[in-house]
Amino acid sequence: MQTIRFTFSKTGAARYLSHLDLVRCMTRALRRTGLDVKYTEGFNPHPYITFALPLPLGQEGLAEKMDVIFIDGEGPQEAAAKLGAALPEGIRIVGAAPPVHPPARIRYASYDLTLDFACVQDAQLYRQTAVRLVEQGALAAQKTAKKGRAKVLKTIDLCEHLQRFEASVQGTSVRIGATLSAGIENNVNPFLLTGALERESAVRPETQLVVREVLLMEDLMPFS
């Protein structure tokens, strides 16, 4: 029995797969490989697959992590090659190794955001607003949270969750590099950030591409 942590990317059209779609997709891909995956016991056995941190629908991920438990020891590289060959367009295996850290160690994720605007002025206004608010250190956003069973809205200050922020304008695009809180305790979806900036700047991007580059730990070292 061994656990292999696969690093995979989910880009292009595949970013529109929901997390549940992705779980199904990986399950089927593993079945197609014929690899000896460990299954749960019980009425409806399913393979032991764990994702370190679900990726929201619509966002790309470059180094997402998925753990799979195998009964029989094929090496990580062989398993990665077989799994990679069984995946649909847009999902690629980029690495495989035994896990080093438990997923609870994840504290941050680094993002690369590209927002396209109708005109240069809008892009500049959006960037200026963003830089000013981040410097001032207050940027409120509403986040759904669970209170017991009920879902409630709570207001958070995004700046408290912003570990790194840089923004530049390239033509009609704004490019933002940001490191935001992530993980089981304080997960901040970058759409909260772009939503807040849209509200404050009163300009709306035509399209926004969110790329989650890497998951980080407390010491800002990559989770692996």
DSSP E strand boundaries for 30-172 = 49-51, 60-70, 91-97, 106-116, 140-147, 150-157, 162-170
Q: Cβ of residue 67: shortest distance to another protein, in angstroms?
A: 19
Q: β-pairing, 207-217 with 60-70?
A: parallel
Region binding another protein by CB under 8 A among candidate stretches 15-23, 67-75, 124-132, 212-220: 15-23
**Which residue in the block uniquely carries the two structure tokens 């240069």?**
120
By DSSP bridging, strand 207-217 and strand 106-116 are antiparallel
The SS3 assignment for 6 reads: strand
- Considering only 7, 9, 208, 224, the residue that binds another protein (CB under 8 A) is 208
Q: Site map for another protein, 49-88, x if CB under 8 A?
A: --------xx---------------------------xxx
Supply angle C-alpha 30, 94, 28, rounded to 5: 15
- 10 vs 107 by CB, closer to another protein: 10
Report if residue 39 touches another protein, rule: CB under 8 A: yes
| Residue 27 found at the interface with another protein (CB under 8 A) | yes
Contacts 24+ apart (CB under 8 A), 118-125: 118/172, 118/206, 119/172, 120/169, 120/171, 120/172, 122/172, 122/203, 123/169, 123/171, 123/172, 123/173, 123/174, 124/169, 125/201, 125/203
If the CB atoms of residues 41 and 219 are measured against another protein, the closer one turns out to be 41
The smaller minimum CB distance to another protein, of residues 28 and 154, is found at 28
Among candidate residues 18, 204, 13, 188, the one with its CA nearest the CA of residue 109: 188
Residue 185 touching another protein (CB under 8 A): no
Exactly one of 135, 157, 206, 218 binds another protein (CB under 8 A); which one?
Answer: 206
**Residue span binding another protein (CB under 8 A) among the ranges 12-20, 96-104, 170-178, 192-200:** 12-20
Beta carbon nearer to another protein, 88 or 137? 88
Task: Give the nearest distance from C-beta 34 to another protein in angstroms.
Answer: 8
Contact residues toward another protein (CB under 8 A) are 12-14, 16-18, 20-21, 24-25, 27-32, 39, 43-45, 57-58, 86-90, 206-208
